[in-house]
A and B are shown apart, each in its own frame.
Chain A
Amino acid sequence: MSTWGQLIAAARPHVIAALAARLRDLDMAEDAFADASAAALVAWPIEAPRDPAAWLWRASLRRALDAKRRAAVRDHAVYDAPESPPTPEEALMAADQPIPDERLRLIFVCCHPAIAPESRAALTLKVVCGLSTERLARAFFIAEPAMLQRITRAKRKIAAAGVPFEVPGREAWPERLEAVLSTLEVAYVQAYEDAALAGEAAGFADEVLRLSGLLAELAPHEPEVLGFAALVRLAEARRPARLDDAGAMVPPDRQDLTLWNGGLIRDGAALLARAANLGRSGPRQILAAIHATHCARAESGRTDWPAIAALYDILADLRPHAAIAVNRAVAIGEAFGADAGLTQLAKVQGMDGWLPFQVALAALSAKAGRLEPAAAAYEAALALNPAPAERLYLEARRRDLGGSSQPVRRGDG
């Protein structure tokens, strides 16, 4: 049974996208696919389908068109309706044509700039990847009814405001691709942060891996699309090494190289090289290059911190966010000495209550031999309720410093 379930899940993005493009209605597409999947679970064990995706596509479309016809009859009160002539869809189904690939179109719909940014990632993962509302709610740290409402509202807006089920014209791609990429990036940040911590979002790293690859296939001349696909691969390659045996987080420069996924690193590096050849840099390519530099330790045996610091210089110009500034200070500290790093970190204002800031301050202070500020920063970090894997790591670093103070223990709440 689980094999049938997997076949259905694998066919889902393709079939849902084709249905949504044809019906121009996300709910109707999802409902029809759910009906067809239920029918498949009954029919397939008796007679295995030749092409599961094609089977589901035909069955879903037939169900959706029946539902539409019933609704039309009901709304317009047509009595004794004559047999309607075959629609183009029926002709298409009879002709056993391949399923049109409309996945890009569906991604553009779900990531339309007219949809609230906080809804886009959830809607995309729901509609395109088929993740449940319950799972999305846990991953995005909101209650399930709130997540359901967010998704429902976004779908209603798409239908009511007339968001077109079209791939936008080339002239609109820069803005529209930006919305798509930032959506996938939000989804991936959730997955990446959770990955070391084995939380709820860890699972959809695979989905973002797949979607980013798909986007790179469909938009092969957009350097930021290739850069994002590279970024996801280079980051995912190191996932198996991100926790030690005790479940504590391991930073990239201390990870066990033998656990890295060489295939993903090669794929990521190849995508990044293709992006670079297009000659238009961007923040996702720079981020990917930072990951690639970490991965290059597999070849060279050492981490090229000056190169990483230089990449962060560029990134900090492109994205003047505190998070980038903190990471840049850490890289500068590794490359040019802890004092240089602390000088940069001191320029980051108003982030005292932010976990990565305290972690950076602690690490740089410890490296500079300033043990008391380091201990204070580790304790401040531990008081900011880090996830379990990071807590284990920070407690170990705090113990390395020695001193009288005990690591702060806090409940899980």
Chain B
Amino acid sequence: MKYMLLIYEPEDVYEGPEGQKALGEIVAKHMKLGEDLRAAAVAFGGAPLQGSATATTVRTGPDGAQTLHDGPFAETREHLGGYYEIEVENLDQAIQWARQVPVMPGGMIEVRPHAVYG
């Protein structure tokens, strides 16, 4: 099955000189995770995303009219910061990989299976 591992983190942890240092360490851990996934022959993809300040939201109203908004759709402290997509046997394996996705304290990984139709 294919699973999305959605990375949610408070964004302010990467601000300032300390934050930049932390970011460097986290990026190195992501590189290592990529190597581990390849070594385990797990098909995967993914990307880091730019900060939520760069987000633009297209909203469709009840009448179908579309409007544009500056910013992400939800005002929360944690924002979607990136994702992996992995193909593994089952939820337990997906959770095993999710545990290895590096995050700063307060970060969360949401594990979501792809929907399969037909």
Contact = CB atoms under 8 A, between A and B. Distances in A.
Interface of A: 75, 112, 114, 160-164, 166, 168, 172
Given A112-B91, A172-B92, 9 more contacts: A114-B91, A114-B95, A160-B113, A160-B115, A163-B92, A164-B90, A164-B91, A164-B92, A164-B93
Residue among A112, A162, A172 with the highest chain B CB neighbour number at 10 A: A162
Contacts of B118: 75
A109 B110 CA distance: 20
B89 interface: yes
15 contacts: A75-B118, A114-B95, A160-B113, A160-B115, A161-B91, A161-B111, A161-B113, A162-B1, A162-B89, A162-B90, A162-B91, A162-B113, A164-B90, A164-B92, A164-B93
Interface of B: 1, 3, 89-95, 111, 113, 115, 118
Nearest to B89: A164
Contacts of A166: 90, 92
B115 to A, nearest CB: 8
Nearest to A160: B113
Nearest to B94: A162
Contacts of A161: 91, 111, 113
Q: Is the interface of A mostly helix, strand, loop or mixed?
A: loop
Contacts of A168: 92
Contacts of B92: 163-164, 166, 168, 172
A123 to B, nearest CB: 16
A163 B93 CA distance: 10
A166 B111 CA distance: 19
A164 B89 CA distance: 8
A50 to B, nearest CB: 37
B74 to A, nearest CB: 22
B110 to A, nearest CB: 12
Contacts of B113: 160-162
A163 B92 CA distance: 7
B13 to A, nearest CB: 27
Contacts of B1: 162
A75 B118 CA distance: 8
Contacts of A164: 89-93
Nearest to A172: B92
Contacts of A172: 92
A168 B113 CA distance: 20
Contacts of B93: 164
A163 B94 CA distance: 10
A210 B113 CA distance: 35
A161 B89 CA distance: 11
A164 B113 CA distance: 13
A168 B93 CA distance: 10
Nearest to B1: A162
Contacts of B95: 114
B65 to A, nearest CB: 33
